[in-house]
Amino acid sequence: MNTIINYIEKSGGVLFLLLLFLLSFSACDEGKRFEINSDDATPPNPPVFTHFEPLSGGAKIFYKIPADEDLLSVDAQYTNEKGKTFHFSASYFMDHVEVFGFAEEKDYTVQLFSVDRAGNRSEALDISVKPSSSLIQNVFETVEVIASFNSIVIQWQDALKQTINIYVDYTVGENTLTKVFTSNLESEKRVIGDLPGDHPTNVKIRVGDRYENMTASKDFGEVIPLLDFEIPKTNWALPNDKDSVAGVPQVYGNKAVVIDGIIDFADNWNYLNTYPYGRTGKQEDGNCPWNFIVRLDDYYELSRITTWQRHSDPDPVGASSKGAYYKSTSPSVSRYNMYYLDEETNQWIFISYHEIPVPVGKSDMDIITMGKNGDAADMYPAPGFTKATRWFRFEALGSFGDRSQAYCLSELTLFGRKATK
């Protein structure tokens, strides 16, 4: 006790105690805001509307906050033409509330009111607002349909990153099916697969939002998916360690496991490990970049690739664990270049760079499924085939996260079509 008194005296005595009193009073006063008074039947004062800013498919409504000590929020609501009411809310320390769901560029009436801790609502103000444009129409105008391998790709842009639904009605033969894709990403791409290659698929698309708005349907006509197949690995050949092909050395390591059709999973360790074959930092000693070179059994035009990561992490893991899949500390290759050999010039021709995306918002079981299915990529951004070749080169550049070192690859599969030469 003497220590506290001495400290107060050294700290200015009365001023110090006064400061403690003011802070305590302020905290108690603010705490009253969060006390629910069941006997309170007095509605709060309404907010004072000042102006609004138009948004795509919505509006940002600004106001002056009413002086009520138990104010909880300022809310807005509107009723659409179907008679359904949508509600939006902003906490008491905000000076605006955002309202969305307007399908057209026209005037809408929004009700603005205050709500206190007891649930009392103020008198509602009718506010007229007008969106800058239609969100779903803006998204609709960016939709593209691209023919891919045994599939079609639907891609679109959503600048405001609002939740939208893409309805794809597609007809194969006499069967009409509908797929619905939901996203709030700024740029999105979705695939409808397992379609017959070289057969027309009629595609129509609508765009909707969570406020029951929907665009008209646009007919994209007949889209003909490209036809390719998995290239059999039975007669593939691998150059020996450090042997060069067109000036590029083959990687060190147990390379055969990359084309044996067996992936590393749980306690079944099966992956190329370049690290134990050298610690000097030289390219041929297993550090990135390193090259995995394959001679195919014949001439092919290449279209796609699928790679598989190491699952063990680093000790054996069970089938219910996501293991090392997509981890920032994973030693598996996530960034790579692809090349094919032009035998006429004996030059490696660059195909493309690819980086395996890290899944976001997925459960462990989703990640396990994705890892077991492998990570696929087209040879080119716009789906197509390479020139006919017998040689393919996979150049490892790095692993997941910020790591520049990647020394594991479990399996590699190529797709394409037999060359007519």
CA 256 to chain centre: 34
Residue 81 CA to residue 99 CA, distance in Å, equals 16
pLDDT band for position 4 (cuts 50, 70, 90): very low
Averaged pLDDT of the chain:
88
**Which is nearest to 309 in space by CA: 244, 248, 358, 247?**
358
Is 154's pLDDT higher than 50?
Answer: yes
Using a pLDDT cut of 70, give the percent of the chain over it: 87
Q: Give the pLDDT score at 319.
A: 87
* Rounded Cα distance, 421 and 409, in Å: 32
* 99-120 per-position pLDDT tens digit: 999 999 999 999 999 999 999 9
Which among 393, 400, 379 has a CA at the least distance from the CA of 291?
393
H or E segment to which residue 290 belongs: strand 290-308
> Torsion over CA of 85, 91, 95 and 100, rounded to 10 degrees?
-30
With bands split at pLDDT 50, 70 and 90, how would you rate the model's confidence at 84? very high
Confidence of residue 321 (pLDDT cuts 50, 70, 90): very high
Rounded-to-integer distance, Cα 369 and Cα 354, Å: 21
One-character DSSP codes across 166-233: EEEEEEETTEEEEEEEEE--SEEEEEE--PPTTS-EEEEEEEEETTS-BPPPEEEEEE--B--EEPP-
- Please return the burial class of 400, using the count of CB atoms within 10 Å of its CB with bins 0-12, 13-18 and 19+: buried
The 10s digit of each residue's pLDDT in 356-414 is 999 988 899 999 999 999 999 999 988 999 999 999 999 999 999 766 678 899 999 99
Rounded CA gap, 306 and 228, in Å? Answer: 14
CA distance 220 to 207: 14
Q: Which of 384, 393, 385, 379 is nearest to 418 (CA)?
A: 385
- For residue 314, whether the previous peptide bond is cis, meaning omega lies within 30 degrees of 0, is yes
Question: Comparing C-alpha atoms, which of 129, 131, 108 is closest to residue 55?
Answer: 131
Q: How does DSSP assign 383-401, residue by residue?
A: ---PPPEEEEEEEEEEEST
Query: What pLDDT digit, counting tens, does each position of 176-215 carry?
Result: 999 999 999 999 999 998 888 778 999 999 999 999 999 9
Per-residue pLDDT at 278 exceeds 70: no
Residue-by-residue DSSP string for 353-387: EEEPPPP-S--HHHHHHHHHH-EEEESSSS---PP
262 close to 411: Cβ distance less than 8 angstroms = yes
Q: Residue 140 — very low, low, confident or very high, per pLDDT cuts 50/70/90?
A: very high
Structure confidence at residue 239 as a pLDDT band (50, 70, 90): very high
Question: Tokens for 22?
Answer: 């003011």
| Eight-class DSSP state of 26 | H
Mean pLDDT of 153-182: 94
Query: What is the distance between the alpha carbons of residues 137 and 133, in angstroms, rounded to a whole number?
Result: 8
CA gyration radius, the chain: 31
Distance from C-alpha of 196 to C-alpha of 226, rounded to nearest angstrom = 9
Tokens of 311: 């699952």
**Residue reference for tokens 């948004």:** 55
Rounded to two decimals, what is the model's pTM? 0.70
What is the torsion angle, in degrees rounded to the nearest 10, for the CA atoms of residue 15, residue 17, residue 19 and residue 24?
A: -170
Give, in degrees to the nearest 5, the angle at Cα 136 between 130 and 141.
115
Q: How far apart are CA 119 and CA 52, in angstroms?
A: 26
Give the position of tokens 């598989």: 308
